[in-house]
Amino acid sequence: MNKFKEENALLTQAWVIEPKKKVKDVMKELNIADLKIKEFIRFKIGE
């Protein structure tokens, strides 16, 4: 269940450019005070 949650929640997904990092880690590294994700779209390939 934890693996499913990690793969399907945006902030815990692997970052596309550097898969060893999570999206939340990259956001912290940017160090922008009011940085927020307002919207995202999830694409799924195949069934």
Give the number of other CB atoms < 10 A from CB of residue 14: 13
Q: Are 23 and 12 in contact (CB under 8 A)?
A: yes
Cα–Cα distance between 27 and 40 in angstroms, integer?
Answer: 15
Domain count across the chain: 1
Long-range contacts of 9-15 (CB under 8 A, 24+ apart): 10/37, 10/40
pLDDT of residue 45: 87
pLDDT of residue 8: 84
Instruction: Choose among 17, 39, 36, 15: nearest CA to 25.
Output: 15
Domain of 23, in residue numbers: 1-47
pLDDT of residue 32: 92
Below-50 pLDDT ranges, the chain: none
pLDDT of residue 18: 94
